Amino acid sequence: MKSTVAVMVFAIIAALCLWTGTAVSQSEKKEAVEIAVTVGDILKQAKCPLTDEQVKKLKDLDLSQGREAFQALYAIFDEKQTEALKKILGARPGRDGGPETPRYVMQLVLFEKGGCPLTEKQLEALKALPQERGSWQKMQEIFTERQNGEMQKVFGNR
C-alpha cells in the first residue's frame, strides 16, 4: 500500500515538473518573439493611416535611385503623417536647408520591402544612437545579416 502511494506521489510530482517546464518554455518563447515595426503600423496607431495610393507608392518606390528616391519617399507622407513618424522615430535635420525628416523611415521601408522588418528592440537601439557620421557602423551592428544585405543592395559598401 505504501509503495502504491509513493509511486502515485512520485507520478504527480513528475507530471507537475513536466507541466511547469513546458509552461516556462512557452513563456520564454513568447518573450523571444520580436515585434516588427512598420510605417503602416506606426501611422495606423497615430490615427493617420496610409491611403491605398500611398501604399502603392511605397510598394513601387525604388530606393536604389539614390537621393531622388529619398525625396520621393518623404513626399509620400502628408504633414500629419510626417509629424507622427518624427514623434515615434525621431527627426533629423534636413539637407541643404530642407525640412526635418523622420529618422530611420528609409530603413523601415527598405527592410519591410525586403521581408526583414526592423523590430521594436532594434528601433529602440537605433534611436539611442547619436546623430553623427560614425553611427553608420554602429547601425550595421544592430541590423541582422539579412538587413545588412538589403542595405548593401541599395547603398553598396560604405
What are the domain boundaries of the chain?
1-33, 39-155
Strand, helix or coil for residue 131:
coil
Tell me the pTM. Answer: 0.74
Element housing 102 (H / E):
strand 101-102
Provide φ and ψ at 102, rounded to 5°. Answer: -65, 135
Give backbone dihedrals phi and psi of 91, rounded to 5 degrees, phi first.
Answer: -125, 150
pLDDT tens digit string along 96-147?
A: 888 899 999 999 999 999 999 999 999 999 999 988 777 788 889 999 999 9
Residue 147 to residue 107: CA distance in whole angstroms: 9
Any bridge partners for residue 102, and if so which? 91
Cell 530611420 maps to which residue? 104
